[in-house]
Amino acid sequence: MSKAVPDSVTRLIEAFTRLPSVGPKTASRLAYFLLRAPDEVSETLAQAIAELKAKTMLCSICYNITEVDPCPICQDTERDGSMIAVVEEPLDVLALERTGSFKGRYHVLHGVISPREGIGPEQLKIRELIRRVQAGNVQELIIGTNPGMEGDATAMFIKSELGSAPVKLSRLARGLPTGADLEYADSVTIMRALQGRQAL
């Protein structure tokens, strides 16, 4: 970077660019915003980041991010432990929880199988999921991996690993989003919407 930019600012900009979806321009804007902002803004940010790393851990049951182990969802006796939604990331848990309609429990894989990126099943929490099923009490796994090659491959791998385990395996329905125009949907989305059609 230019000699007109102090090293400390350059290091902060480089640190911001390591974040997802943050390019050099956005990183520069964030760094210069923090320079102009009152001290408490940057102090609060630094403290929040430090606490995030110090206080959070993975739940030993579902592998969601938590501050207590097991996490509040796994501890909740009102939830149906026989039904587990298998998702890619902790953010997917938040998306399902926002609906208020899922009353089961979760299992977070922390990614999907992606040979292109060097991610195999052993890097994910699949073995732990199989152990949960083998321990009993699980009657249904709802596979909530994202639609696409990697998500589908991960779902198929889980299915093959389960073998003849007496558990119902289902997949989140895919198709047209509410409010979408049929003419703008791609052929794969329309095909899946047709396959997942329901009786009126």
Q: What is the pLDDT of residues 45-64, one digit of tens each?
A: 999 999 999 999 999 999 99
Q: Is it true that 7-55 and 65-171 share their CATH fold? A: no
Q: Using the 8-state DSSP alphabet, how is residue 142 labeled?
A: E
Sign, Cα dihedral of 161, 167, 172, 174: positive
Summarize pLDDT for 123-160 with one digit per residue, the tens: 999 999 999 999 989 999 999 998 888 999 999 999 99
Q: Map out the domains of the chain as residue ranges.
A: 7-55, 65-171
Q: Are 23 and 30 in contact (CB under 8 A)?
A: no
CATH architecture label of 65-171: 3-Layer(aba) Sandwich (3.40)
What is the dotted CATH code of the domain comprising 7-55? 1.10.8.420
Mean pLDDT value across residues 156-167: 92
